Structure 1
Amino acid sequence: MYKPISLKKNTIANYIGQLYVMFIGIFILPFYLEYLSAEAYGLVGFFTMLMSCMVLLDVGLSITLARETARLKDKVNGLIELKKITLSIEVFFVVISILIFSAIFSGSGWLSTHWLDVKELSLATVESTIKIMAFMIVLRWFIGLYQGSIIGFERQVWLNKYKVIIATLKFFGAYLLIVFISNDIVDFFYYQLLITVIEFVVIKLKIDSYMKISKRVVPSILTLKQIAPFSLSIAYASAIWVFITQLDKLMLSHYLPLHEYGFFTLVIVVSNAILQLSQPIGQALLPRMASLLSNGKEKEMIELYRKSTQIVSIIVLAVSGVVATFSYELLYLWTGNSEASAWAAPILFWYALGNGAVALLSFQYYMQYAHGDLKYHVRGNTYFGFIQIAIIVLSVHFYGAIGAAVAWFGLQTVFFLFWPWYIHNKFASGIHKDWLFKDIAPMFSVSMLYLFVLKNIGIEFGENRIVVFLTFIIIGILLLLLNSLASNYVRSIIKDFVVRKKHAK
């Protein structure tokens, strides 16, 4: 019998796991730049971009499996149906994986000579690296599918322990490799492939242990057809969204010299970290919202939705604001490379603010996902998506990386101003005003005022990186505390705690 794990435990586990993975990746990256060179690290950024683009071929099945798991896990005979769905998706993935692998492996020569602007590395080295990427992309595609299922089972405590161990092997192991054994980029990717194989085997065995059933089931095309409407809605919207989010990175991988693309990878890592700050709550929230609605508890679902919005606003608005306001200081603290920091800082400013808006925009998707109705998600991504694609293409072509950054911020800000209002009116009429002005605006106002004051009093960070680090810690903690006090949800928690303490006395 399925035993649910508390939302609080899952959320805490998600944040611990996410922060650890983010921290270790950010901590190790300057060493990669030092020992691998900016151009070699540009290949790592290129691989990351390719991985993100693979979502286009997922056709929404990973997210669909997560939702089907959340829906079926506590139903009579639910595991039998879930096992059939999983097997059917796996067969589909195998077929598509063969095509993906063949395309990347056979196209490695063209990519290394005609797409990437290579100055220092040999073309043979770049081609070999891309061939290794082909193996890793296929395996990580399956890993993403299985992670979605574990999220649906709400076994996120285990998932985050697994992520922490894999991240340690992936980053610290690679650090030891390039420092003490070999700093050849090909050896670096062979090591990453080894860890990816281990990652795949472990999570596959774990999923199989959750779906042990006595009845034999077989994959079925009919099963795929049954989940197709929801899956294809996600696939279409995801395809446009992934194309929008990766188009600038794809174009810049061609427009920029590979060593500058290595600098641009710094921007990608930091700005993506802002998006990842909302993912732990999203991972815990999606299956719980779907479960509450399936059991007729809409009021509880909306209350959870609004509380979660406030928590994400406290964190995301503080982090994106600090990163944007002090982008050069942060990059210098991180890399110790003044050239890279000066090049990337103005670009990071706009991407940080834009991704802060995207993190809050995610909530309107959560609402649609919980209801199992993504037609508005599809329409919104279609209409606004084509506008974004046109603007990004023109911005990158004429203004390069800084043009892409400014365009990204402007587009996401405009989308945030009207799209959540529209979705809330469709699925939870009457909540948008409170959601915007009570759940987000107080933290936004506090963050803006605080950072405006700090910027204008002219804080001297100095050149000592330890001093810079301590200054950032103090600035960040103070803003998180101020944002927390601006949240009526957090204030109610504090009030309840004080009352309980008084009664205990």
Structure 2
Amino acid sequence: MSKITKNIFANYLGVVITTALSFLVVPFYLKILGKDSFGLIGIASLIQGWVMLLNSGLAPVTGREAAKAYAIGNSWREAAIFFRTVDVFLISLSLIVFVIFYISRGWLSNVWIESSSLNSSTISLALCLLIAMTSIRLLTSITRGILANIDRQIWLNNNLIIFSLLRFAASIPLLYAYPGINYLFIWWLFVSLLEYFSIQYKTWSIIPVKINFFIFDFLSIKKRWKMIVALASTSLIWVLITNTDKLILSTYLSLESYGFYSIATLLSSSIIILAQPIAQAFQPKMTSAFTHGGIENAEMILREATKWIVYLIYPIVVILCLYPNQIIFVWTGDSDAMQQAGDFLIGYTIGNIFIALGSILYAFQVSIGIVRKHLQGNIILCVCYLPLIPFIVTKYGAIGISILWAIVNFIYFVLWNLHLLKKITKTLYPQWVLIETLLPLIMLFLIMTFVRYFFVLDGQYSRFILFLLLCLLTCVAFVINLLNMKLLKYRN
């Protein structure tokens, strides 16, 4: 088994276990904490999305520097100084953000969040804990990116599994003993601190130079300033695109309804989560291919990464879209969640598969050092999408936003990426968009829609039987997908 294959499977093992744990605890959280408190967990995801925007701006740059130092071997000191500078910058910024949230916690708890069962002091404390925890996870994610790019992905995933077990599985007995939302957030904060120190220790035990922790080298930032600004701007725009709807809906919906909405967005986010290990495994390889062989070599690696997306994620997308209510009922056991969240799931799932495909193309752009076009595309998407959100929310609610999400991401994926590939690549236009990504998805949707007429999963089945039938249908989708790939001669 090649190293890249080992890394992909290690990444998938880590992501699948972590994602499974985060999904498995949802029924327990709903039962123990109640629906309003579960809505605060949805708010936690929203806050994390805003705070973690810096991760998308800095992690690709630190990861790229780590990959270059690892490949060349003689530029570790410069890279290490840059890593420490990023740490100091993020710690300082996190403290500022925490102070701002602490000062405004009372106003936020009374004006922003509507709850029928939680008092403002509980919500205020929850917001402060969430900011502290998310800031620490931001620092951890930056350092994880360094390890991922110096070929420590197997260790990283072992670490991820351990701390996911602590974060999620270990929280259940804690909540049975102390059934309060802030006990859960305090536990998450404690686990995040342990995770941060473990990642820091591993990283600096591998880097072959020693640098003082409190060091800030402005020149190391300035040298990479253009790429950092481009990536940070892109990240800010992308956070606006992906979280403005959630922010507006958090003021429009009650905590209970927002909790149901969060169930759908969490489940659909599994599509993006499943794509991350592929991008994580292939980005260092694309960087190395471009460094040693030019853009055509990097394009070959991009095609290889795309095959993994098509093989592993397309069947899951189709099943989520064809059986949304059944999947949510099997997952949560809550009929209210099934009825309310199922309506949102289809639109977000369709939109997210195009984001997952775009993440591979984004990794390619970072690897070859061209991110300006990505920024331009996100600006266009932002200008077209954001003005529609308030109108759609007030007129059609969350279901309207989910449909809009699917339509906008599909149009953007096709039109912008055709333009992008024509400008920056030699061998990918137009077949990467039309033949290698869209055609297999359309074929699988059409065939599985036909299969659905023979597998009508209605309310007569128990959760366990529904689970078995959904597993069977997923296996059928995987087999059909593989046959489609052979038909299209997609395999090497």
What is the TM-score when the length of structure 1 is the normalising length? 0.93
User: Does residue 481 in structure 1 map to residue 479 in structure 2?
Assistant: yes
Among 465, 471, 486, which residue is 1:467 paired with? 465
Contact kept? 2:422, 2:430, Cα under 8 Å: no
Structure 1 partner of 2:359: 362
Q: Secondary structure at the match of 1:263?
A: helix
Q: Which amino acid aligns with 1:412?
A: N
User: Does residue 213 in structure 1 map to residue 209 in structure 2?
Assistant: yes
Contact kept? 1:263, 1:344, Cα under 8 Å: yes
1: CA distance between counterparts of 2:361 and 2:399?
Answer: 29
**Compared CA separation, residues 441 and 387, structure 1 to 2 (3 A):** closer
Among 403, 406, 418, which residue is 1:406 paired with? 403
Q: Which amino acid aligns with 1:469?
A: F
Q: Secondary structure at the match of 2:201?
A: helix
User: Does residue 169 in structure 1 map to residue 166 in structure 2?
Assistant: yes
Contact kept? 2:84, 2:211, Cα under 8 Å: no
**Compared CA separation, residues 219 and 147, structure 1 to 2 (3 A):** same
Q: Secondary structure at the match of 2:430?
A: helix
User: Does residue 203 in structure 1 map to residue 199 in structure 2?
Assistant: yes
Which runs of structure 2 are paired with 1:278-427 in the superposition (5 Å)?
Answer: 278-427=275-424
2: CA distance between counterparts of 1:376 and 1:232?
Answer: 13
User: Does residue 136 in structure 1 map to residue 133 in structure 2?
Assistant: yes
Q: Secondary structure at the match of 1:219?
A: coil
Shift of 1:315: 2.5
User: Does residue 62 in structure 1 map to residue 59 in structure 2?
Assistant: yes
Q: Secondary structure at the match of 1:73?
A: helix
Contact kept? 2:296, 2:427, Cα under 8 Å: no
2: CA distance between counterparts of 1:215 and 1:192?
Answer: 30
Structure 2 partner of 1:502: none
Q: Which amino acid aligns with 1:464?
A: S
Contact kept? 1:105, 1:134, Cα under 8 Å: no
1: CA distance between counterparts of 2:211 and 2:28?
Answer: 51
Shift of 1:422: 1.5
User: Does residue 447 in structure 1 map to residue 444 in structure 2?
Assistant: yes
Which runs of structure 2 are paired with 1:41-80 in the superposition (5 Å)?
Answer: 41-57=38-54, 60-80=57-77
What is the CA deviation profile of residues 405-457 of structure 1, one whole-angstrom value per residue up to 9, with x for unaligned ones? Answer: 01101100110111221121122234223323442245213311222113333
Q: Any unmatched runs of 5+ in structure 2?
A: none
Identity level (%): 25
Q: Which amino acid aligns with 2:449?
A: F
Q: Secondary structure at the match of 2:423?
A: helix
Q: Which amino acid aligns with 1:184?
A: G
Q: Secondary structure at the match of 2:115?
A: coil
User: Does residue 118 in structure 1 map to residue 115 in structure 2?
Assistant: yes
**Compared CA separation, residues 448 and 334, structure 1 to 2 (3 A):** same
Structure 1 runs, 4 residues or longer, greater than 4 Å off: 214-218, 488-493
Q: Which amino acid aligns with 1:256?
A: L
Q: Secondary structure at the match of 2:293?
A: coil
Which region of structure 1 is more displaced relative to structure 2, 429-438 or 333-342? 429-438
Q: Secondary structure at the match of 2:223?
A: helix
Shift of 1:363: 2.9
Shift of 1:212: 3.5
Q: Secondary structure at the match of 1:440?
A: helix
Contact kept? 1:307, 1:489, Cα under 8 Å: no
What is the CA deviation profile of residues 116-142 of structure 1, one whole-angstrom value per residue up to 9, with x for unaligned ones? Answer: 011111221111211211221221111
2: CA distance between counterparts of 1:214 and 1:53?
Answer: 33
User: Does residue 262 in structure 1 map to residue 283 in structure 2?
Assistant: no
Q: Secondary structure at the match of 2:475?
A: helix
**Compared CA separation, residues 458 and 484, structure 1 to 2 (3 A):** closer
**Compared CA separation, residues 138 and 214, structure 1 to 2 (3 A):** closer
1: CA distance between counterparts of 2:378 and 2:364?
Answer: 16
Contact kept? 2:298, 2:364, Cα under 8 Å: no
Structure 1 partner of 2:25: 28
Q: Secondary structure at the match of 2:410?
A: helix
1: CA distance between counterparts of 2:280 and 2:477?
Answer: 25
Shift of 1:74: 2.6
Q: Any unmatched runs of 5+ in structure 1?
A: 496-505
Q: Secondary structure at the match of 1:135?
A: helix
2: CA distance between counterparts of 1:190 and 1:300?
Answer: 47
Q: Which amino acid aligns with 1:252?
A: L
1: CA distance between counterparts of 2:366 and 2:418?
Answer: 16
Among 96, 99, 104, which residue is 1:102 paired with? 99
User: Does residue 185 in structure 1 map to residue 185 in structure 2?
Assistant: no
2: CA distance between counterparts of 1:368 and 1:25?
Answer: 31
Contact kept? 2:271, 2:349, Cα under 8 Å: yes
**Compared CA separation, residues 157 and 57, structure 1 to 2 (3 A):** closer
**Compared CA separation, residues 335 and 37, structure 1 to 2 (3 A):** same
Q: Secondary structure at the match of 2:224?
A: helix
Q: Which amino acid aligns with 1:94?
A: I
2: CA distance between counterparts of 1:198 and 1:17?
Answer: 18
Shift of 1:392: 2.1
2: CA distance between counterparts of 1:486 and 1:437?
Answer: 15
2: CA distance between counterparts of 1:451 and 1:69?
Answer: 43
2: CA distance between counterparts of 1:133 and 1:215?
Answer: 31
Contact kept? 1:321, 1:448, Cα under 8 Å: yes
What is the TM-score when the length of structure 2 is the normalising length? 0.95
Among 457, 468, 478, which residue is 2:454 paired with? 457
Q: Which amino acid aligns with 2:18?
A: V
Structure 2 partner of 1:501: none
2: CA distance between counterparts of 1:397 and 1:440?
Answer: 34
**Compared CA separation, residues 373 and 57, structure 1 to 2 (3 A):** same
Q: Secondary structure at the match of 1:74?
A: helix
2: CA distance between counterparts of 1:252 and 1:119?
Answer: 17
2: CA distance between counterparts of 1:416 and 1:75?
Answer: 35
Contact kept? 1:129, 1:186, Cα under 8 Å: yes
Contact kept? 2:299, 2:427, Cα under 8 Å: no
The number of equivalent residue pairs is 489
What is the CA deviation profile of residues 200-233 of structure 1, one whole-angstrom value per residue up to 9, with x for unaligned ones? Answer: 1111111111223268795310110001111111
